[in-house]
Structure formats: structure tokens, C-alpha cells
Amino acid sequence: MKNYILALDQGTTSTRALLLDEECTVHSLAQRELECFYPHPGWVEQDANSLFVSTIDVINELLIKGNVSWEQIAAIGLSNQRETTIAWDKRTGQTLAPAIVWQSMQTKEICDSYAPYSPLLSEKTGLRLNPYFSASKIRFLLDHIPNAKELIDKGALAVGTVDSWLIYKLTKGKVFATDHTNASRTMLYNLKEGTWDQELCDLFKIPMSILPTIKNNNDFYGEAAFFDVRTPIHGVIGDQQSALFGQGCFNPGESKNTYGTGCFMLMNTGEKIARSKGGLLSTVASSLDGKRQFALEGSVFVGGAVVQWLRDQMRWFKESKDSEEYALRREDGSGIYFVPAFVGLGTPYWDDEARGAIFGLTRGSDRHQIVRAALEAIAYQSKDVIDLMIEETGLKIPSLKVDGGASSNSLLMQFQSDILGVDVVLPHNRETTAMGAGFLAGLGVGFYPSLSYLADSLKVERIFHPSMEENERNKRYKGWKKAVEATRVFKVD
């Protein structure tokens, strides 16, 4: 009997795996942390082979911890860090360069050279011309892989996002595919038509032959042949859309915010492509059985990554979770603002040249206050995005569904509720990114009967209610906007 869905979440800082049963309950969980490399200022890279090895590791650990055999797995679902780009040789399955992580700014000059085409790119893709997206990363790889032209001519070069890389490896090279949500983040995907766009590929001089086939989220993606029992891969989706799906945001207007390495706010806009004038992105939310739903998205480049920076670079605490206790050692209201623009600023600023800064320091300031300011910065950046969504859609957000690693920080979640003036809803199971992929895999093989069944299965752990006075909220947010403005004025030559 097939008792479980195996859901994978390959993220920037860790790879996670969990088992979901028929009642959508998590049976067991495994995780491996991952390393990023910073060879030059603003560059962020990873070893693609490590991403795959970590995937195999967490699967094996999961089955051992859960005392589950492969015969009990009905299907595999996969969510992944989006935009991160990998090139490999189809003949050998070996990578040809480090993976360029979505955060990396190393393709800024390429993007600058395409500035005259910004209106065309925005109209066709729903995105903004930015190093964040995959097209410039692909162009960079093609420019720097020594034998790229020879590989293309032989039909041996494959370039894709992390989902396509893991599918290729898990199926032992039999399937080279991606889904609509990941494709919509490449800046080579026609949002209206739902296909790779020949004009955009020609513009970036990227042969369409090196790109993966685009499938629906719940399609069959081949069998994981890396293990004794062949198991179907039936749910593939980009991590933020997966979290939207895992939160049960199946209807227009429903929204979530994920607090991971970055922060990502998505609002389901149904079958209509919503266009933004203020810096929000239009993207595919899901594609089930050929029927696409769309979303508006706002991106905060540095969310939980600022806590990791304090942990790893500053070494002020040993584990990210310690940041809450550390910040609580000093009372609120220090007047310090931390703008963590380590790789530029995302929505609504889209300023690639901005760099991190701390304002309001006095002789009495200490690191506990700076840690608190860093946590508050995550909430301020999310408010920037959410306020713009409300303004452009005309929709009120009575509550905000949250997930991601940093959502476990009660200080941050309470401050987020305070600075927004709305309830913040924390789900009982915060592994919503993996759950979204698991839900799709379950739908794909009939393990789960319907969307309504999935929505009814979701439970709430805690609701944070706003307690800050409106005058105080406005005062603090005004200070944040001043800090951002000052950060953007300072430019490194």
C-alpha cells in the first residue's frame, strides 16, 4: 500500500525532505545545510553537485528516520530555489561551471547592456530587467564556458534551473524538464502564451535547444531511478509558488509571505495576469492540467540571510534561532535602523547598487540592539511590498499567512503584525514550501482527491495580533523610509 508522498524542498541554504500521509500530516523530516561561495563582491555561487548529493542524503535519512520503505512512497514532489542557474553536459551529467545563485549580482553589466529592451522584457515576461532572473545568468555561463559553442553544436549542453537539474539527475538523464512557475522566472518565458519566447531567446543569444521542456506542475516528470524502486516524480514547482499552494491560497486575493533567505510575498490573481506599475512582478502561480493561475509577487532579497550574516560573519550567536533571545536582551525603541542591502534592494526599489547600512548608532548602542534592528528590517521590507500590493490591487489584506524559517521567530512575527496593523497567521506546519510540492504530487497520482480536501486539512498554530498604536507605527515606518533613502544615496565607486 502506498502510504506517503515524499516532498523535497531544495532551498538556498538547505535541502529538506518530508513525508506526508493521506491526512496531509508530516510523518518525518530531514535536512542538510548548504554552503554558498562569494568569489567576488556581490557574487553568490553554489556547487550544483552538492545540491544533488544533499537531496540524496535527505531522502535516505528521511526513510531511515521514518522507518519507511520505497514501496510505501506513492510519488515524489519537488520544490526548488528559483532563478539559480546551472549548466551541464547531457552526455556525462557533469556540471560545467558553479551554479549562479538567484541572489548573485555578477550579471549586472549584462543587464545594463539590455536596458533599452526593458519595456519589451516587462511586457512579455511580467518581470523587471535584473540580475535576479535567469536569462542574464545563462548568457554569462555561455560567455564563460570555454567549449560552450561546441557543446551546443553537438546537442550536449543543458542549462536550467535547479528543478531541471535535479530531475535530470534523479531520472539518470532521461528527463530534461521544468515547470511553468520556474520557467516564468527566467525572463525567457512568454507569460501570455505559456511557452519559451523565440524573440527573447534571440535577444539574449540563447539557443532554445539548450532549455528544458515546460510541463504542468502535476504532470509526470519521469521516475526517480536512483534507488532500487522506481518512484514517479509528479509535482514540480518553484519554492515561492509552492509555499502559496502549501498555504492553501488557491483563490484570487489569497496571499502569503515566506521568510527565508529572502522574503517573498505572493498574491493569487486567478486566471488574470495582473500588471504592476510600482515594481511588483507578474508570474505564474500554478499550472494544473493545463489551466494556469497567476500571481503578483514582491521580492525582498535579504530576509533571513541578515540573521545568517550576523551568525556567520559577525559570530554574535551560534544558531539563527538564538537571534530572538539575543534581541530581547535590550528593550525596544533604540532608534537604530539596519538596511540589509547586501546584494541591492528588491521590491519596490529595484536598486542593484545599494549596499547594506546601519543608521542611528550612538555611543551606547550595542550588538543586541543591532540584532533587533536586523529582525525589524525584515518586517519593514515586507511592509514595503505588502503596502504596494494593497495600493495596486485595491484589495485589503485582513490577515497575512506566513511561513519559512524566520517565521519561527515570535519577536519578528509580532513586530510584523504591529508594523502592518493586521493579524499574522502562523500555520501549524511551517514546512509549507515542501508541502506545496507534496500536495501537487499527491494530486498528480490521485493520492489527494481535490483542492478543497487540501484546504480543509490545513491547521493554524498561532495568530499574532497587532498591539502597536498607529502613531507609533507611522513614526517607525517613516524612520525606515529615511534610512532606505539614505542608503540609496550612498554609492560605492
- Identify which has the larger pLDDT, 396 or 366: 366
C-alpha cell at 50: 552538492
Q: What is the pLDDT of residues 203-220, one digit of tens each?
A: 999 999 999 999 999 999
pLDDT, residue 493, reads 66
The per-residue pLDDT for range 407-442, each reduced to its tens digit, is 989 999 999 999 999 999 999 888 899 999 999 999
Q: Which residues contact 60 (CB under 8 A, 6 or more apart)?
A: none
State the pLDDT at residue 1: 61
**Residue 4: phi, psi to the nearest 5?**
-140, 155
Q: Contact at 8 Å (CB) between 221 and 167?
A: yes
Alpha-carbon distance of 426 to 462, in angstroms, equals 5
How far, in Å, CA of 436 to CA of 249, rounded? 10
Split at pLDDT 50, 70, 90, the class of 127 is very high
- pLDDT of amino acid 332: 75
Give the end-to-end CA distance of the chain in Å, rounded to a whole number.
63
More confident residue, 405 or 185: 185
pLDDT over 90 percentage in the chain = 72
What's the confidence (pLDDT) of residue 262? 84
CA 138 to chain centre: 19
Distance, CA of 416 to CA of 300 (rounded, Å): 14
pLDDT surpasses 90 at 264: no
* Three-class DSSP labels, the chain: CCCEEEEEEECCCEEEEEEECCCCCEEEEEEEECCCECCCCCCCEECHHHHHHHHHHHHHHHHHHHCCCHHHEEEEEEEECCCCEEEEECCCCCECCCEECCCCCCCHHHHHHCHHHHHHHHHHHCCCCCCCCHHHHHHHHHHHCCCHHHHHHCCCEEEEEHHHHHHHHHCCCCCCEEEHHHHCCCCCEECCCCEECHHHHHHCCCCHHHCCEEECCCCCCCEECCCCCCEEEEEEEEHHHHHHHHCCCCCCCCEEEEECCCEEEEEEEECCCCCCCCCCEEEEEEEECCEEEEEEEEEECCCCHHHHHHHHCCCCCCCCCHHHHHHCCCCCCCCCEEECCECEECCCCCECCCCCEEECCCCCCCHHHHHHHHHHHHHHHHHHHHHHHHHHHCCCCCEEEEECHHHHCHHHHHHHHHHHCCEEEEECCCCHHHHHHHHHHHHHCCCCCCHHHHHHHCCEEEEECCCCCHHHHHHHHHHHHHHHHHHHHCCCC
Asked if residues 344 and 352 have their Cβ atoms less than 8 Å apart, the reply is yes
d(CA 453, CA 440): 13
User: Is residue 461 very low, low, confident or very high in pLDDT (cuts 50, 70, 90)?
Assistant: very high
Report pLDDT digits (tens) over 138-166: 999 999 999 999 999 999 999 999 999 99
Band (334; pLDDT cuts 50, 70, 90): confident
Task: Indicate the pLDDT class of residue 278, thresholds 50, 70 and 90.
Answer: confident
pLDDT band at 275 (very low <50, low <70, confident <90, very high): confident
Give the C-alpha separation, 103 to 38, whole Å.
11
Q: Count Cβ atoms below 10 Å from residue 409 Cβ, excluding itself.
A: 22
The residue among 349, 260, 347 whose CA lies nearest residue 306 is: 260
Q: Across the beta sheet with 73-80, what order do the strands follow?
A: 26-33, 14-20, 4-10, 73-80, 231-238, 223-224
Q: Cα–Cα distance between 98 and 455 in angstroms, integer?
A: 39
Res. 460 pLDDT band, cuts 50 70 90: very high
Taking only the tens place, the pLDDT of each residue in 172-194 is 999 999 999 999 999 999 999 99
pLDDT band at 261; cut points 50, 70, 90: confident
In Å, how far are 31, 119, 259, 266, 322 from 348, measured between CA atoms? 33, 17, 17, 14, 30
Residue 397 banded pLDDT, cuts 50, 70, 90: confident
Give me the pLDDT at residue 59, please.
94
Mean pLDDT over 331-347 rounds to 88
Bridge partner residues of 415 (DSSP): none
